[in-house]
Structure 1
Amino acid sequence: MYRRKIHDDDDDSHDRWLISYADFITLLFAFFVVMYATSSINLNKYQALSSSVVTAFQGKPGQTPSMNTDTPSSLQNKSAILKPLPLNYLYQEKKQRDLDKMRAMGQQLANVLALWIEQKQLSILQGEFGIDITLRSDLLFKADQSALSEQGPYVIKLIGEQLKNEYRTVQVEGHIDRHMYSEDTNPEARRWETTATQAARVAAILGMRGVSSKRMSAIGLADTKPASSSENNLAQSVNNRIIIRILTAESNAQQAANNTTSTQLEILPKTEQALQATPDTPDMVAPDTVTPDIAAPVTITPAAGAAGP
């Protein structure tokens, strides 16, 4: 009787796992090659790879997960938003905000002083450096330009109440027409004295109404900056004026920088030895005939900042 030979399981090869391992290594190598190929940002390659992966794992070709379809140019524009803003833009924005605050304060002052604005006795102007409140002298002072009028302190009080809570620098300028005190023996000195006194009195009243004296200054400019060069009476009355200037933050910072003394040079009188060492010139006096009039050293300090921008 013929018997079929029993197949022995021991005859199977034990190296068949190497085939699966080799296939896995090949797929892994192909995967890294694809990843390396798409390492550079390319939206089309990324979409193709995503579609292939979804098809391989889900078995649904043609279906890809929803994703952002922005073009590279739009992505570049969005990334530009994250860049730091330039300093010039920040400076301009800060300056504009300060000007807006100044405009609001000027409008409030105009509302309070509307009566005298309608009567053309004062005006409020806003410029790049701040707000100028120009008051005619006959509104604040009597005809002699030295004593305050009846309504002068009240007008200054209204202005002071609006400025007392402000952190800004306030400058008071006194101006006068060149024809004033022309009959005096020394009219120029009288005009300087009058404008300085007027500016100081206005600043003192502002200080009494709450404006900090540390951020106020008063100066008399006599007839050096006339508002009009005409010879009629109206022009002369316009030249007699008081200007209350409220500086912007930028102007205040510039003025503070100008007033800062960084380096000072002390100038000493020449000694006798220095005069002897100086070469003789026809215009020089002999050293033994020079008698210095200055007994102590003279210190030259920087001049104060300009009263107005």
Structure 2
Amino acid sequence: MSKKTRHEPHEEHADESWLLPYADLLTLLLALFLVLYAMSASDAKKFQEMSEAFSSVLNGGASVLEYNNTKPSQEPADVGKFNAVTNVKTEAPKPTEQAAREALMKKEQEELEKLKQQLDKYIKDNGLTTELSTKLNHSQLMITIRDNALFASGEAVIKTDSRKLAEEISKMLQQVPAYDIIVSGHTDNVPMNSAKYPSNWDLSSDRALQFMKILLLNKSLDPKRFMPIGYGEYHPIATNDTSAGRAKNRRVEVSIIRKYQDNNAYINVTNTKDEK
């Protein structure tokens, strides 16, 4: 009797192909969480930097936007100044730079005071106190010349006997060759309507230009430093209701502009009426 061969039972193996996409999914999730973590860490750093910047500007370093209390606010060693227009922090002046600037301001003040004294002496010695005056303020040294000392009524041609005055002023300006010079013309409010000068604008501008040309006959002066301006009737220094007031308003001004001013002072060299 033949013996039958017995086969050992064996287990059925399930299909395990699903493990591959599952492992890929887990890998992608891990990568996603790593990226998110890195992004959150970067944002936290930026947030902290922004917090410190705002606190430094607003209250000198005491933090008002602490991030999870992980880093106490510290006042920067060099805060400097913050430019609200460009959002750029500018360095505070160093003590040596400040001292140098103050020395230059002092030298400038001495130069302008010396020139003013010379001008005042010339005015007094030549009996011109009613026609000329000087004034030194925070922005400029101004020489004011009444129009009757220079021009005929309604004209911009400088009188022959007044050319010497312009020449003397030009010689004194040689002492301050590095300063910018503004020559401005002014009139009263009496309407000007001639064939040559249809308005006070035209007359005041031409007077400033003609006087500047006389100054620049002195070849020691640099024309690049000079600028003529006509203000017409719009910057009076006295009332136009009287003949004496109108006479004061008709003038030519020679302004020697400072190079160094107080940082707290607002300088507007084109508006001289507020400085009188």
TM-score by length of 2: 0.56
Do the aligned partners of residues 185 and 207 (structure 1) sit closer, same or farther apart at CA in structure 2, a change above 3 Å counting? closer
The answer to whether structure 1 residue 215 and structure 2 residue 225 are counterparts is: yes
Distance 1:188 1:226 in 2: 20
Where in structure 2 are there 5+ consecutive unaligned residues?
A: 1-93, 262-266
Paired amino acid for 2:179: R
Q: In the alignment, is residue 233 of structure 1 matched against residue 243 of structure 2?
A: yes
8 Å CA contact 2:133–2:145 kept in 1: the answer is: yes
Regions of 4+ moved over 3 Å = 84-90, 115-119, 184-189, 305-309
Change in 2 beyond 3 A, CA 1:119/1:86: closer
Q: Specify the alignment match of 1:154 in structure 2.
A: 164
Alpha-carbon displacement from aligned partner over 1:13-62 (angstroms, at most 9, x marks no partner): xxxxxxxxxxxxxxxxxxxxxxxxxxxxxxxxxxxxxxxxxxxxxxxxxx
Q: Flag the 1:116–1:234 CA change in 2: closer, same or farther, 3 A.
A: farther
Query: 2:104 maps to which residue?
Result: 94
Contact kept, 8 Å, 2:123 with 2:129, in 1: the verdict is no
Question: Does 2:156 match 1:135?
Answer: no
Give the Å deviation of 1:121: 0.6
Cα drift, residue 224 of structure 1: 1.1
SS in 2 for 1:145: coil
Give 1:306 shift: 5.4
Q: CA deviation at 1:188?
A: 9.3
User: Which has the larger helix fraction?
Assistant: 1
The residue number in structure 2 matching 1:296 is none
Question: What's the counterpart of residue 204 of structure 2?
Answer: 195
Say whether the 8 Å CA contact 2:142–2:253 is kept in structure 1.
yes
Size of the aligned set, in residue pairs, is 172
1:215 maps to a residue whose letter is: R
Distance 1:217 1:308, change over 3 A: farther
SS in 1 for 2:254: strand
The structure-2 alpha-carbon separation of the partners of 1:155 and 1:193, relative to structure 1 and needing over 3 Å to count, comes to: same
> Partners of 2:226 and 2:127 in 1: how far apart?
24
Write out aligned runs for 1:67-106 (5 A): 85=95, 87-106=97-116
Aligned to 1:110: 120
Match of 2:132 among 107, 122, 136: 122
Question: Aligned in 2, Cα 1:233/1:196: closer, same or farther, shift over 3 Å?
Answer: same
**Contact 1:137 1:145 (8 Å CA) reproduced:** no
Counterpart of 1:16?
A: none
Distance, in Å, in 2 between the alignment partners of 1:87 and 1:214 is 29
Matches of 2:207 and 2:171 in 1, distance apart?
Answer: 20
Q: How many angstroms does 1:164 deviate by?
A: 2.6
Cα deviation per residue 1:87-112 (whole Å; 9 max; x = unaligned)? 44443332122111110111112222
Moved more, 172-181 or 108-117: 108-117
**In the aligned structure 2, how far is the partner of 1:307 from the partner of 1:93?**
27
- Does the Cα contact within 8 Å between 2:183 and 2:212 map onto a contact in 1? yes
After TM superposition, the score normalised by the length of structure 1 is 0.50
- Please name the residue that 1:204 is paired with: 213
